[in-house]
Structure 1
C-alpha cells in the first residue's frame, strides 16, 4: 500500500538545470528523487506544481509523490529533519504531509504566484542578493510599471509572451500583476495566474521594464495581446530574478478532484 505525500520545497536555482530530471545534469527533481528513494526504497509519480527553468528559485514550490505506507509510518515526524541531513544545502523540504489521493500538485492548483526582483540603483544588486535580483541599468518609475501591468491582467491569449509548444494552449488567466518598491529600494513584480506557459513570467516582466524606464508607452505591453505568435521585440529577462513563492489549492477533496478535471481540459478561447 502507498500514501500520497504533499512535499513543500524551497531551493536556490542558481546551480540547477531546472526542476525536471535530465540525464547528465543536476536538477532539483533529480536531487530530491535520489534522497526519497534512499529513504523509502521506491517512490512513484513525483509531480510538481510548476516546472521551473534553469536558474529560477522557489520558496513555495509544491510536489506530490506516492510512497510505501509502512516506510512513511516508520518516519513519523522526523522526515523533514532526515531530509535536511541528506539533501544538498541549496534545496530544502519545508514540509511533508499526507494528502488525499485526489490531490495533484500540478492539476489541482488554483494558482501560482511568482515574484521578480529588479534593482535599479547605480551600483546594481546588493552582493548578498545578486543570485535572486536583476540589476537594471536605468532608473525605473513605479507608477509607469503598474500602468503597464494593468493592461495585462485578466484572461487572455498570451501567445506574444510564450514560447509555444505544439498542441498547447497559450490562454491564461492572470489574477494579479503589480509592482512594489521594497524598503531596500528593490522593485518587485508579483505575477499570479492559474498557470503559466514557458517563459511567460520573464517575458511579461521583460515587456514592462522598457515602460518603467521610459522607452515604451504604458499601453505597449497590453497591445501585444492581439498577437497570435511570440513577439520577438519582447526580451526574456534573466532567470535568476524569478522566484516561485506560492501555490494555492482548494480546501476540500471534492474541489481538488473538480479542479484537476477542469485544468486538464484544453482552453481554446478566452472567457
Structure 2
C-alpha cells in the first residue's frame, strides 16, 4: 500500500530533509517515528520504511506544506490500530501526531491514488523567500524565518531580474545538477513584492473606507501613518509579514541550491551591487561562479506542491523521469 503523507516543519533544527548518518534530518526524524508506531526495526531489510519526498530541502530551509509517500504492507499498517476503533490509516495518523517532535507538524495521512509518486508526479513547487531590509529590526518571533539585509532593496530592479528566469532555461549559473541530471528547469512564476503594512483586525482606514499603506515606506513609518489615518479606537496590530520583501517562485522542479542562488543574485541587483546586464549574462551563460552562490537558508520556505488529476499521475511521473533538454 502506498500512503501519501503531508507535513510541515521548522527547518532550523534540521540538517535538511535527506537522511545523513549522525545528523538530525527531517527524513530521519519522520522515519524514526514511523518505525516506532509501526513497530518496524530500523535495520529491517524485508520491509524498510523509506520516505520519498516532493522536494529535498536543504539545511535550515522550512516547509509549510511538504509531500512525501511511503510504501508499507497492510499487515504492518494494521499493527498501529491497537484498541482504536478506526481505520489503520487513521490510526497511523493519530499516533504520528503524538510521536513527532514539536518542529514537525502532520497535515494528513491517506491512501495514495494509483500512479502517485510524491517526487515525480508533482506538477510544480512554490517557494517563498522573506527578507527584512533597510536594517530595521526583525520581529523576534520571525528571526528564524526572515533574513535581515542592511540596504534598502530596489524591488523594481529585482523584478526586472526575476522576469528573466521565466520559461525553460539552463540554470547552471545558479545550481548544481544531481548525478546524471541537468540544471534545466521551467520557471512558471517569479515575482518580488514588498508586503503592504496592514492591520490584522481592520483598524486601518478613514471614515470612507480602508486605506492601503504605501508599500515603499519602512515598517515604523508605515505603522505611524496607519495609526494616524485610523478612525477606530482599537490598537493598530500589524500583520507579521507587514513591510517584508518577499520572493515567490514557482517551477516544475528545482535543482540543488537553485532558489537560494537566484535570490542571492536578485538581492545583489536590488542592492545595486550588480547590474541587470550581469544577471542577464548569468542566464545566458550557465556557468557556476562565486558571485552566484546561495543566500542564507533561514528565509526560504517550501509553501506548496501541486499535482495533476489522478488519471494523469502515472504519465506525469514517466515524463519527468526523462532527461530534459533545451529546444534547438
Q: TM-score, normalised by structure 2?
A: 0.77
Residue 316 (structure 2) pairs with residue 259 (structure 1): yes
Residue 252 (structure 2) pairs with residue 194 (structure 1): yes
1:224 corresponds in structure 2 to 282
Residue 9 (structure 2) pairs with residue 11 (structure 1): yes
TM-fit CA distance, 1:249: 0.6
Q: Could you list the per-position Cα deviations for residues 124-170 of structure 1 after superposition, in whole angstroms to 9, with x for gaps in the alignment?
A: 42211010101011001221211111111110000000124442211
1:74-223 aligned within 5 A: 74=81, 76=87, 77-182=90-195, 183=197, 184-223=242-281
| Residues 224 and 231, structure 1, Cα contact 8 Å, conserved in 2 | no
Cα-Cα RMSD:
1.7
1:62 corresponds in structure 2 to 67
1:37-52 aligned within 5 A: 37-42=35-40, 44-52=49-57
SS at the partner of 1:114? strand
In structure 1, C-alpha distance between the alignment counterparts of 2:63 and 2:327, rounded to whole Å: 29
The number of aligned residues is 268
In structure 2, C-alpha distance between the alignment counterparts of 1:56 and 1:130, rounded to whole Å: 13
1:21 corresponds in structure 2 to 19
1:53 corresponds in structure 2 to 58
Q: TM-score, normalised by structure 1?
A: 0.93
Q: Could you list the per-position Cα deviations for residues 192-229 of structure 1 after superposition, in whole angstroms to 9, with x for gaps in the alignment?
A: 11111110000000010111122223343232122232
| Residues 174 and 293, structure 2, Cα contact 8 Å, conserved in 1 | no
SS at the partner of 2:72? strand
| Larger Rg belongs to | 2
SS at the partner of 2:276? coil
SS at the partner of 2:250? strand
| Residues 16 and 57, structure 2, Cα contact 8 Å, conserved in 1 | yes
| Residues 20 and 51, structure 1, Cα contact 8 Å, conserved in 2 | yes
Q: Which has the higher strand share?
A: 1
SS at the partner of 1:160? coil
In structure 2, C-alpha distance between the alignment counterparts of 1:106 and 1:26, rounded to whole Å: 22
SS at the partner of 1:203? helix
| Residues 107 and 263, structure 1, Cα contact 8 Å, conserved in 2 | yes
In structure 2, C-alpha distance between the alignment counterparts of 1:80 and 1:130, rounded to whole Å: 31
Q: Could you list the per-position Cα deviations for residues 99-125 of structure 1 after superposition, in whole angstroms to 9, with x for gaps in the alignment?
A: 124110001011111000010042342
Q: Bigger shift: 197-206 or 222-231?
A: 222-231
TM-fit CA distance, 1:270: 4.4
Task: Structure 2: give runs of 5+ residues left out of the alignment.
Answer: 41-47, 198-241
Using a 3 Å threshold, how does the CA distance of structure 1 residues 48 and 270 change in structure 2: closer, same or farther?
farther
TM-fit CA distance, 1:85: 1.3
Task: Structure 1: give runs of 5+ residues left out of the alignment.
Answer: none
| Residues 130 and 244, structure 2, Cα contact 8 Å, conserved in 1 | yes
